[in-house]
Amino acid sequence: MVEKIKHFLEISLFSYKDFELSIGDIAALLILFALTKVLVFLLKTVIQRYVDKSTEKGRGFAVFQLARYFIYTIAIVLGLDFLGINISIFIASSAALFVGIGLGLQSIFNDIVSGLFLLFERSVEVGHVLEVDGLVGRVTDIRIRTSTIQTRDNIMMVVPNSHLITNSVINWSKDNKATRFSLKVGVAYGSDTRQVESLLIEAAKKHPEVLQQPLPFVKFIDFGDSALIFEIVFWSENGWQVEITKSDVRFEIDRLFRKNNITIPFPQRDLHIKSSPDKTD
């Protein structure tokens, strides 16, 4: 029985010069492939189970991806060596091809390296609110080559990781979550400025997204052409919804101003008409 199996495995399927591929070689490659898949699956299970839950999930994904690539590379090298293929000769004969591929994939490699920096330095994490190229969005996923950012319009942007490394990016969520925001409003000349200050602070403090510490405060900015210009400054931890917060505060400011007879003036311009004297003969 053993001899029959041995004879069956030695049956040649393909041969070329010194290279010969038998049924046993195919079986060995299939076993190697199966063991590799099992090892990768076990590695993924271990990482998912033991990675600290407080750690960014993307970091665990990065570790898994790197380990998976390493395992597959080792499996390929072992498979080629088992078939009797000289790896060094193969690499040497393909050197020019590899150089061309490397130049073509330079930007991709740059994105991958940038992704590793992001994942391990944790300068950007899933859930952070970023401002990229003037657009504000929340990071929903960080992978090896690209990151996904969801804008306030629910548009999913796929951003190359190198863009987040080499360009100026505002991270509204890094370190201190409390971020300072402000609104400007103009009132008519003759208004009680201290009353305006009190009403603006009241409008901001009423909103649940506005922090009570630090307290909101008001700055008297300027004597404008048509109005006295004030700025209400407040802090919020919800940078993602800050435009809605600002809108709500504006509604409340308008309500309080109407209630207390504070006027927000229209822009005014003085028009002077200069007439020329009549010409007489």
pLDDT tens for each residue of 75-107: 888 887 777 766 666 566 566 656 666 666 677
> What fold does the segment set 125-171 form as a domain?
SH3 type barrels. (2.30.30)
Q: Tell me the mean pLDDT in the region 2-30.
A: 69
User: Would you state the pLDDT for residue 99?
Assistant: 64
Strand order through the sheet with 228-236:
179-187, 228-236, 217-223
Q: What is the mean pLDDT of the chain?
A: 81
Q: Token digits for 171?
A: 């991270």
Could you state, in order of their start, the residue ranges of all structural domains in the chain?
A: 2-93, 125-171, 179-259
pTM: 0.59
CATH architecture of the region 179-259: 2-Layer Sandwich (3.30)
* Cα torsion 262, 266, 272, 273: sign: negative
Q: Which residue has the higher pLDDT, 246 or 31?
A: 246
pLDDT at 261 over 90: yes
Question: Would you call 28 exposed, middle or buried from its count of C-beta atoms within 10 A (0-12, 13-18, 19+)?
Answer: middle
What average pLDDT does range 254-279 have in this prediction?
81
Residue 90 in tokens: 């193969």
pLDDT band per the 50, 70, 90 thresholds, residue 51? low
Are the beta carbons of 145 and 115 closer than 8 angstroms?
yes
Q: Over the stretch 166-180, which tens digit does the pLDDT of each residue have?
A: 888 888 877 667 888
Average pLDDT rounded to a whole number, residues 251-268? 92
